[in-house]
C-alpha cells in the first residue's frame, strides 16, 4: 500500500457474472470510482477454500447450494486498494439481495437474487485482510500509485 489510510478488499466476481459476460462492466465500476486493482486472477474454487471462506454459514442447510453455485464456473478474484476501500466497494456493490439493491449499484443493476448476486465484497477491514490472504499470496499483489490519486483523494494529499 502506498498511503497509510489505504485498505484492501477482496472482490469475487461470481459464476453468474462470468456466465453473463459482466466482468468488464463490474471491474470498470470499481476503476471509475478510483480504486486500484492490485491483484486479479481467474480460478476454479474448491471445497476447502469455499468452506474456509464461508466458515460462518457452512453448517447451514443452504450452504451446499452456495458451494455448488460457486463451483458452477470459474470466478474472477481481485484485490482492490484505496482509501476507505471496504466502505466504497460495499456502496458500489449494494445490499446482498439484488431485488433490494438500489439502481446504480452492481447488484441493483444486474441482480434480482440473493445467491446470484454477481459479486462478493469484503464486509469489514478485518475480513478484507483475512480474505485477501486466503485467495492471494503477497507476491501476487502489486504496490503502485495511480497517476490520478491526488485528484481522487484530494483532501488526503493537498
Active site amino acids:
120
CB within 8 Å of 11: residues ≥ 6 apart: 30, 77, 78, 79, 80, 89, 119, 120, 121, 122
Where are the extended beta strands (E) located within 14-124? 36-43, 75-83, 119-121
- The C-alpha cell that represents 44 in the structure block: 476454479
Rounded Cα distance between 28 and 30, Å, is 5
Q: Is the dihedral of CA 23, 24, 29, 32 positive or negative?
A: positive
Rounded Cα distance between 93 and 25, Å, is 12
52 three-state secondary structure: helix
Amino acid at each position: 500500500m502506498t498511503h497509510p489510510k489505504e485498505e484492501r478488499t477482496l472482490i469475487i466476481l461470481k459464476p453468474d457474472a462470468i456466465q453473463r459476460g459482466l466482468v468488464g462492466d463490474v471491474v470498470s465500476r470499481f476503476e471509475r470510482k478510483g480504486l486500484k486493482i492490485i491483484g486479479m486472477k481467474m480460478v476454479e474454487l474448491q471445497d476447502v477454500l469455499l468452506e474456509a471462506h464461508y466458515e460462518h454459514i457452512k453448517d447451514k442447510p443452504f450452504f451446499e447450494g452456495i458451494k455448488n453455485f460457486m463451483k458452477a464456473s470459474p470466478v474472477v478474484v481481485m484485490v482492490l486498494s484505496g482509501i476507505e476501500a471496504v466502505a466504497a466497494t460495499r456502496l458500489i456493490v449494494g445490499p446482498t439481495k439484488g431485488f433490494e439493491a438500489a439502481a446504480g449499484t452492481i447488484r441493483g443493476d444486474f441482480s434480482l437474487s440473493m445467491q446470484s448476486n454477481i459479486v462478493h465484497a469484503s464486509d469489514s477491514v478485518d475480513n478484507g485482510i483475512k480474505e485477501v490472504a486466503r485467495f492471494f499470496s503477497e507476491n501476487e499483489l502489486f504496490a503502485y500509485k495511480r497517476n490520478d490519486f491526488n485528484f481522487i483523494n484530494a483532501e488526503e494529499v493537498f
